[in-house]
Amino acid sequence: MKKLPIYTFFIILLFSYSLNASNENLYKKLNTFGDVFETIRSNYVSDVDEEDVIEAAINGMLQSLDPHSSYMDLENYRDMQEQTDGKFGGLGIEVTSESGYVKIISPIDGTPGAKAGVEPGDYITHIDDENIFGLSLTESVDKLRGLVGTTVKLKIVREGEDEPLEISITRAIITVEAVKFRREGNVGYIKLISFSEQADRGIKKAINNLQTEIGTDKLIGYILDLRNNPGGLLGQSISVTNNFLNSGEIVSTKGRDKSNIGSFKATKGDLTKNKPIIVLINRGSASASEIVAGALQDHKRAIIIGEQSYGKGSVQTVFPLNDKSAIRLTTALYYTPSGDSIHKIGITPDIEVLKSKDPDNKIDNQLEYALNLLTKDQIVK
């Protein structure tokens, strides 16, 4: 049996959809889309890959909604699944699209991007000397990917810098350890790097080990470091927050579909035994990080120190498709317990402490401030 060309299937799809479309203008637009596709196929200066053209159209449709909705082909979908598992290849940077360029949400600590000096808020304008203005986020991300061990050259525009910066980064297999911890005197320091599937388990381990090492009676309090944490799984943000609360709402979500409307509440069992907590945030703290910081701030369970966070208050749901590709679609906005949306706003710290801009200053002034606040017993329980 002779296979029908792909455009025939596409026209059939348009026709079947139009039968159910009550809006005449929509019907005309769908017909126009089919006309454009056929014109490209017949008249473009060189042969085109018809499937690539349709995938580009799908991605353009999603990207027109917001920077966080996108199409993932089989390879990109697989990469996304590896990231939530905590292991993937690449540069170790979380990105979005803004003003026609790629904007850095956050470099993940310990990855090639962070070691090379990429900072939250940076704009990538060129990849390997190619101007990426106008490319979709998926197209730009594809250019950032490559074989492990190869180097990519980025041209970056950074606020406060007169001239663009050129940064070279060597791609690597990245295994993100979700949680790192250590004692700072009698203070427990916990660095939460990403909200992968390992996050809640890592937080529980950190709290337990710090209580054993320092001693519950001697332990003054905890510093939860969420700086440059780009977020991750919504469920993990809820579980992590639950470790520090005994009751109350953690976060609520509101979307068009009833399945995306909900409220998530804490259950009894503050693992820190009500010890004082300081949370560190910065411009690279986004999404799930902001859920944790916002909940602990609203319940007056922690003092938030640092800089205004990124402001990504939307929830993306992944919908697998029949051909094993998928779409990532924004389906809800989330709200802090006080009812505030942080979308495009961010979490405002209780105490603003800007990162020192002295390149020769190796002291982490934000962490030092938090330690001094805890050890001087200035926190009221």
Catalogue the active-site residues: 287, 298, 312
Which of the 8 DSSP states describes residue 321? -
Which of the 8 DSSP states describes residue 266? -
Taking a C-beta distance cutoff of 8 angstroms, is the pair 140, 106 a contact?
A: no
How many whole angstroms separate alpha carbon 294 and alpha carbon 27? 44
Contacts for 260-268 with beta carbons within 8 Å, 24 or more apart? 260/315, 260/317, 260/331, 260/332, 261/332, 264/238, 266/241, 266/242, 267/242
- Counted residue by residue, the chain has a size of 381
Q: What are phi and psi of 103, to 5 degrees?
A: -110, 135
* Structure tokens belonging to residue 148: 């492990």
How many whole angstroms separate alpha carbon 23 and alpha carbon 326? 28
What residues contact residue 202 under an 8 Å CB cut-off, 6+ apart?
A: 177, 178, 179, 192
Which of the 8 DSSP states describes residue 106? E
Taking a C-beta distance cutoff of 8 angstroms, is the pair 93, 104 a contact?
A: yes
How many whole angstroms separate alpha carbon 56 and alpha carbon 60? 6
